[in-house]
Structure 1
């Protein structure tokens, strides 16, 4: 992957909440930022249904979504800096919380909002930054969280509008051809074999009752199309996750990754577009991307 003199290759990652960027794509963002890629992180919600002071949950009398959102915005900024993110964009839609939580029926929540204005927001951001690679969740949101699922749906809708428009106009210059192009689209993935390996290591290190990611978050190994080596960026990923200190889930995951992650530090993806037709797995999200687009 060569950096163009006229335009830097661009990676856009669209997440639901503050801390998702570190836990799921932190190594990827750090790796490509270090390679000179322009990294654009879009976070759709304010995270206001996360943990409050002393870990209080939604529904507790001390749970104040506005204060939590402010705290998490600061944490997100620190995480982005740790990962070398070039552009951090907070859409700040209200966090939906988990299913059946007190805020889940709030019509202002991200998962309940009219999707059309948000699709237009995302489409405008794609036109502004013209990513070569676009990353978001798979259709089930990876974890079936309503905000993750909505992020997938709306990001995909915006991508399809870019496709209908014929893609982005390609930059004309020395050694480039006029035309139009679409970004490559990837879904975040966790392979079943990797989930099993992490679970075994966690239980050996932390005991049989240790929390481990459920296997239903995973995909068959054969469905993983792209494996990004983040061995040189593992510590950055952990530092970024550590700054989300207000969130117990993030800190539990951090503890597990510290024990289990160094064995084979990679982040996995499924290439959704152009569709995978088989063959050798990719090791680079930018494989086949031509500079100057």
Structure 2
């Protein structure tokens, strides 16, 4: 087995880790690497999206506890570690005009407080690579945007010995990726594969509603089709959030594995040299023992953005 490395994935709510980058996480964990999901909120304000559970009294009585149990089952399905950052779900505001966010929610927490909590976790786990959402949050949920902001800031601050000195010894994460695996390109490719085979595509409605999302430029594709079953098991573990009869599970897995057998990521920052070709491994180029002063870690050298350098701070 190759030397064990560490990957940290920062997510907003329980279930996000199972719909974005989940098969990659399962692959790395199966290969002997340590994978940790940091869940920023408890998902307390999530709606029950599974119609079979919509009126379940146990769920309605204790949504926070139920979602924690779902998260534990999903983590077990993926073979990963998981920690809670401890903030409260902001909910998804709806209406015109939008209502104010609830007092004390994650999106309204002072940035330095939220970043400090994540810096402590980074310095404890000491990941070689981090993943998070892009500056739009993947989609504009306030908790997703906040998760992006604190992940990028923590990537920088965790390596700085003058930042959050009480949060542990400095640690320089070597690469930061945006998880762009749930993309319009992917859904369009799967939709076309279904229609080309004379099958009814479950994605037509999704494309008509969300096909105008910004398209990201992936710089890494991780082959992970062998771990789609673990991904699906993790999704089903979030029974309040995932309809097992919904559109996602109507895609034949053999066709998905043929057409789109990977998950995609966009390199946002790196402290190690990177090439211009498409990567097939998020750990490419990392130094297993970590970076020393003088390598862009703790000596004040800034990390190098990739491509157009959209950092979203």
Mapped to 1, the partners of 2:90 and 2:175 lie a distance apart of 29
Mapped to 2, the partners of 1:205 and 1:45 lie a distance apart of 37
Structure 1 residue 239 displacement after superposition = 0.9
Aligned to 1:227: 221
Structure 1 residue 185 displacement after superposition = 0.4
SS at match of 2:158: helix
Alignment of 1:1-293 (within 5 A): 2-3=2-3, 8-52=4-48, 55=51, 67-85=62-80, 87-100=81-94, 105-165=101-161, 181-190=172-181, 191-201=183-193, 204-206=199-201, 210-212=205-207, 214-220=210-216, 223-248=217-242, 252=246, 254-258=248-252, 261-263=256-258, 264-274=260-270, 279-293=276-290
SS at match of 1:227: strand
Structure 1 residue 281 displacement after superposition = 0.5
SS at match of 1:242: helix
Mapped to 2, the partners of 1:127 and 1:291 lie a distance apart of 15
Mapped to 1, the partners of 2:289 and 2:66 lie a distance apart of 39
Mapped to 1, the partners of 2:49 and 2:213 lie a distance apart of 29
Measured at CA, do residues 282 and 184 of structure 1 come closer, stay the same or move farther in structure 2, by a change above 3 Å? same
Scaled by the length of structure 2, the TM-score of the pair is: 0.76
Mapped to 2, the partners of 1:133 and 1:270 lie a distance apart of 13
Mapped to 1, the partners of 2:33 and 2:7 lie a distance apart of 7
Note the aligned Cα RMSD (angstroms). 3.4
CA deviation profile, 1:104-123 (whole Å, cap 9, x unmatched): 52112111222222111100
The runs of 5 or more residues in structure 1 that have no matched partner are 168-178
Deviates more, 1:235-244 or 1:253-262: 253-262
CA deviation profile, 1:114-144 (whole Å, cap 9, x unmatched): 2222111100011111100001101000111
Mapped to 2, the partners of 1:96 and 1:192 lie a distance apart of 26
Mapped to 2, the partners of 1:290 and 1:42 lie a distance apart of 23
Measured at CA, do residues 134 and 277 of structure 1 come closer, stay the same or move farther in structure 2, by a change above 3 Å? closer
The runs of 5 or more residues in structure 2 that have no matched partner are 164-169, 291-313
Given that residues 189 and 218 in structure 1 are in contact (C-alpha distance below 8 angstroms), is that contact kept between their aligned partners in structure 2?
A: no
SS at match of 1:238: helix
Measured at CA, do residues 103 and 81 of structure 1 come closer, stay the same or move farther in structure 2, by a change above 3 Å? farther
Mapped to 2, the partners of 1:114 and 1:250 lie a distance apart of 37
